[in-house]
Amino acid sequence: MAIDYDLRIIQEARDLARKAKEAQEVLAAFSEEKINKILASISEAAIENASWLAKMAVDETKYGVVEHKVIKNLFAGKDVYEYIKGLKTTGIIKEDPVNKVVEVAVPVGVILGIIPTTNPTSTLIHNSLCAIKAGNAIVFSPHPAAIKCSCAAAQVVNEAAVKAGAPDGIVSCMSRVSMQAVNELMHHEAIALIVATGGSAMVKAAYSAGKPALGVGPGNVPAFVERTANIQQAVKDIITSKTFDNGMICASEQAIIIDEPIKDQVINELKKQGCYFLNRDEVDKVSRLIMTPKGGMNPAFVGKSPDFIAAKAGIEVPAGTKILIAPLEGYGPEYPLSYEKLTTVLGLYVVKDWHEGCLLSIELLKLGGIGHSFVIHSQNDEVIREFIQKPVFRILVNTPSALGGIGYSTGLAPSMTLGCGTWGGSSLSDNLTPLHLINIKKLAYGTVNVDFEKSQASTCSTKTYSPDQISEIVKQVLARLESEKHA
């Protein structure tokens, strides 16, 4: 029976890929106006269905907060749509009259989208809008723990697209998942590009599939509170970010680094705003509970509330506690909470100045967040700009990191897929947009008149002399030599 089940899953993968290919070939001929009409329909449907999709995601995965997943769905459906609808991704997108080069957008084809369990519906909506805007079809492989909500979101998007004139199958989702089926999709001839949003193992598998791939990595984001920071606002931003969907956005803060001169003020403000500080014994209990020996996170505690974690760890915390703070003296394997924690737990460090804060931030990023994001709270622009040199592609200033990283509270491109660049093992360092999902064809007119024969003739031409002229030249040379000899 297991063999039959696996074969059915693989066959479904093949069928979806083939249907997507047929749909994409039709979509590729659509005008920009027609594609934008499809996008508008998808946006409207995403907004209309944001609430029940969010509830479905929480019910199925047991992760996160319904109200916050609604916000993420609305962000993907509305903010992303508003940002991308004016992008030029069809036909001629640029003309250079001086150099006489014309750039033409060409769809990549059929995209395989690998979806995480943390943001299963919002990521799917975002990636669908980006794919279709660029003239592509997309087939999704959901996380095994989020199949139902991912398929529901894909159905909402595909039906809205078809309603506006798109071919059926332009967006689809595997209804069953296995490693064999994902592997089949990755290697299927109809798949042109893989967009992998998920765990490191899946992203590495995508890069090894022999197809172009855009992957994202983990974000062990440090938050440095520098001595000139607006402390009350900085603490509020950190709490807002870390409690948003119970800390499941990869750009959420993982450790607070406090500049020593303001240590007491920041700690008091954290307590005042609802954070609970774990003692050494409680740090050990929470570490053993939510982290694995290899530095990974126990899936059972992803996106959980602080009171849930505290209760499971046998710790009493005040009602209304927002975050569990773990003071740490070091980082690495001996300090499990120094790694990425997609839940409501934060590490905490104190450093003597921004130089030390910078060095510590880099070490924390090396544990699993290189290339992703870093956030600084400061009013000193000179110090802020020192961090431009650091190994991350999103340096977020005076904003909630999770919301700033996805472009909700900053001017970054709104996106649910955040690349980490080559530092993080990713070919994408930006927030994913439709511009990453097109090929660019170039029409180049000649600008230089090339005539190698004429040039060579000019270079190699020689003057001819008569015998009398040659004799006279020889006499002159000999006379000069004789004169120099007696000089």
Residue 91 lies in a domain: yes
Q: Does 328 share its domain with 238?
A: yes
Given a cut of 90, whether residue 429 has pLDDT beyond it is yes
Are residues 264 and 408 located together in one domain of the fold? yes
Residue 396 and residue 302 in one domain: yes
Instruction: Read off the pLDDT of each residue in 202-207 and give the average, rounded to a whole number.
Output: 76
Task: Kindly state the average pLDDT of the residues 178-200.
Answer: 88
Q: Are residues 211 and 342 in the same domain?
A: no
Whole-number percent of the chain with pLDDT over 90:
80
HEC letters along 385-441: HHHHHCCEEEEEECCCHHHHHCCCCCCCCCCCCECCCHHHCCCCCCECCHHHHEEEE
Asked if the structure places residue 337 within a domain, the reply is yes
pLDDT at 118: 92
How far apart are the C-alpha atoms of 113 and 130, rounded to whole Å?
Answer: 11
The CATH number of residue 403's host domain is 3.40.309.10
Q: Are 107 and 20 in contact (CB under 8 A)?
A: no
267 and 181 within one domain: no
Q: How many domains does the chain have?
A: 2
Spatial separation of the C-alpha atoms in residues 238 and 376, rounded to whole Å: 10
Mean pLDDT of 204-221: 84
**Contact 266/227 with Cβ under 8 angstroms?**
no
**Within 13 A of 362's CA, how many CA atoms are on the CB side?**
11
Burial of 110 (0-12, 13-18, 19+ CB in 10 A): buried
| Domain boundaries, position 174 | 2-215+433-441
Same domain, 20 and 92: yes
358 is a catalytic site residue:
no
**Run of H or E residues at 110:** strand 110-114
Indicate if the pLDDT at residue 1 is higher than 60: no
- Asked if residue 95 belongs to a domain, the reply is yes
Alpha helices in 176-323 (DSSP H): 179-187, 200-207, 231-243, 263-272, 280-290, 306-313
In a domain, 192, yes or no: yes
- 210, 76: one domain: yes
| CATH code where residue 182 lies | 3.40.605.10
Which band of pLDDT confidence, cut at 50, 70 and 90, is reported for residue 475?
confident
Is 474 domain-assigned? no
pLDDT score recorded for residue 443: 96
For the question of whether the overall pTM of this predicted structure is more than 0.95, the answer is: no
Q: Are strands 253-259 and 191-196 parallel, antiparallel or unpaired?
A: unpaired
103-124 pLDDT per residue, tens: 999 999 999 999 999 999 999 9
Q: Would you say 184 and 112 are in contact if contact means Cβ atoms under 8 Å apart?
A: no
Please tell me whether residues 113 and 172 are part of one structural domain.
Answer: yes
Average pLDDT over residues 288-312: 93
Mean pLDDT of 390-411: 96
Whether 456 is covered by a domain: the verdict is no
252 plus 208 within the same structural domain: no
Same domain, 273 and 351: yes
* Domain annotation covers residue 318: yes
What pLDDT does 469 receive? 77
Predicted confidence (pLDDT) per residue in 312-362, tens digit: 999 999 999 999 999 999 999 999 999 999 999 999 999 999 999 999 999
Rounded to 5 degrees, φ, ψ at 91 are: 65, -145
- The angle formed by the CA atoms of residues 320, 322 and 323, to the nearest 5 degrees, is 140
Check residue 471 and give its pLDDT: 79
- What pLDDT, in 10s, does the model give residues 29-86? 999 999 999 999 999 999 999 999 999 999 999 999 999 999 999 999 999 999 999 9
- The predicted structure's pLDDT at residue 203: 74
CA distance 172 to 428: 24
Query: Which one from 250, 275, 358, 420 is the annotated catalytic residue?
Result: 250
Indicate if 209 and 227 belong to the same structural domain: no
Q: Average of pLDDT values for 291-301?
A: 89
420 domain residue, yes or no: no
Average pLDDT of span 151-160: 98
pLDDT in tens, 348-396: 999 999 999 999 999 999 998 899 999 999 999 999 999 998 899 999 9
Residue 456 has pLDDT above 80, yes or no: no
Say if residue 283's pLDDT is above 90. Answer: yes
Same domain, 136 and 247: no
Cα 314 to chain centroid, rounded: 37
202-241 residues labelled b (16+ CB within 10 A) or e (exposed): bbebbbebebbbbbbbbbbbbbbbbbbbebeebbebbbbb
Q: Looking at the chain, how many residues does it have?
A: 487
Q: Is the pLDDT of residue 293 over 60?
A: yes
Name the more confident of 143 and 209: 143
User: What sign does the CA torsion over 116, 121, 122, 124 have?
Assistant: positive
